[in-house]
């Protein structure tokens, strides 16, 4: 009984320090948001996924761990979860941003709706593209790549190692990644935005030479139809670009090895 109690104590300690990274990371990811599943269901799923690193962390468990170091380990793991979750969720924010950009250009940005995935207000196309990307993420093996990157992170940054030393280029890398998010939003939405702009420019010329026509009421319908038609024709190319970006997801996660170095 004493051996069982000691094993149970160690198991609880292992779970308490190995799960914060996953809990925070999946809390940032849109497809595990509170609007998609209940918190209890999400936490249960994360615990099940966290059992994959249980043997590794159990072998690294020190003989004795005090309260303050234990809390510092949890804080460090939560910090890593935020950084990894930010990188993992960025592609979904790109999809939502593309939809928001297109809706803004076609004049439908006022049609705000609550996105069940992110739990925040979004436009119709923004919510649609995020859900389409989520389906693509799970059906093409993107989630397995992402999960493999998470498990690999426990070897790159062991749980009981010291907090990663922030490299001098850490802020620069994060800024570059944020700039890359904006760049992809503009790049992916550019064909439809340009088409809508050309249509709006043409309507402006028509209104110039025929002021009696109420172009304002016609423009939104014309731009919306044009944007949807172009989006249908462009969807395969758009999903191909998203698929290429998600295949680089592992590399994005592992690139942090050169930034967050374990002292």
The 3-state DSSP class for residue 122 equals: strand
pLDDT of residue 1: 44
> By residue range, what is the domain housing residue 99?
2-261
DSSP 140: T
In sequence order, which ranges of the chain are alpha helices (DSSP H)? 2-28, 39-50, 54-60, 67-106, 124-139, 142-156, 170-209, 215-247, 249-254
Number of domains in the chain: 1
> pLDDT tens across 226-263, in order?
889 999 999 999 988 888 887 776 666 666 666 666 55
Kind and range of the H or E element at 166? strand 165-166
Tell me the mean pLDDT in the region 110-118.
61
Tell me the mean pLDDT in the region 208-237.
83
Cα 258 to Cα 256: distance, rounded to the nearest angstrom: 5
**pLDDT class of 41 with cuts at 50, 70, 90:** confident
pLDDT exceeds cutoff 60 at 3: no
Residue 167, C-beta contacts closer than 8 angstroms, at least 6 positions apart: 258, 259, 260, 261
Q: In the numeric block, which tokens belong to residue 140? A: 């093409």
pLDDT exceeds cutoff 70 at 114: no
Q: What is the pTM of this model?
A: 0.83
Tell me the mean pLDDT in the region 169-186.
85
């Amino acid at each position: 009984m004493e051996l069982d109690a000691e094993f149970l104590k160690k198991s609880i300690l292992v779970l308490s320090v190995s799960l914060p990274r996953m809990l925070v990371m999946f809390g940032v990811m849109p497809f595990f948001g509170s609007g998609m599943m209940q918190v209890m269901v999400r936490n249960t799923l994360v615990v099940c996924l966290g059992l994959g690193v249980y043997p590794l962390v159990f072998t690294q468990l020190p003989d004795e761990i005090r309260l303050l170091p234990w809390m510092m380990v949890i804080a460090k793991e939560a910090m890593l979860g935020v950084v990894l979750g930010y990188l993992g969720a960025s592609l979904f924010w790109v999809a939502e941003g593309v939809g928001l950009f297109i809706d803004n250009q076609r004049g439908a940005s006022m049609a705000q709706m609550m996105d069940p995935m992110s739990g925040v207000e979004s436009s119709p196309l923004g919510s649609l593209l995020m859900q389409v990307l989520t389906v693509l993420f799970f059906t093409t093996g993107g989630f397995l790549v992402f999960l493999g990157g998470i498990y690999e992170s426990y070897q790159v940054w062991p749980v009981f190692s010291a907090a990663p030393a922030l490299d001098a280029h850490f802020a620069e890398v994060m800024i570059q990644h944020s700039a890359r998010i904006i760049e992809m939003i503009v790049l992916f939405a550019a064909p439809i935005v340009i088409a809508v702009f050309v249509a709006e420019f043409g309507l402006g010329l028509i209104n110039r030479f025929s002021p009696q026509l109420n172009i304002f009421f016609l423009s939104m319908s014309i731009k919306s139809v044009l944007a949807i038609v172009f989006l249908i024709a462009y969807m395969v190319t758009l999903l191909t670009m998203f698929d290429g970006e998600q295949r680089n997801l592992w590399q994005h996660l592992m690139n942090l090895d050169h930034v967050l170095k374990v002292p």
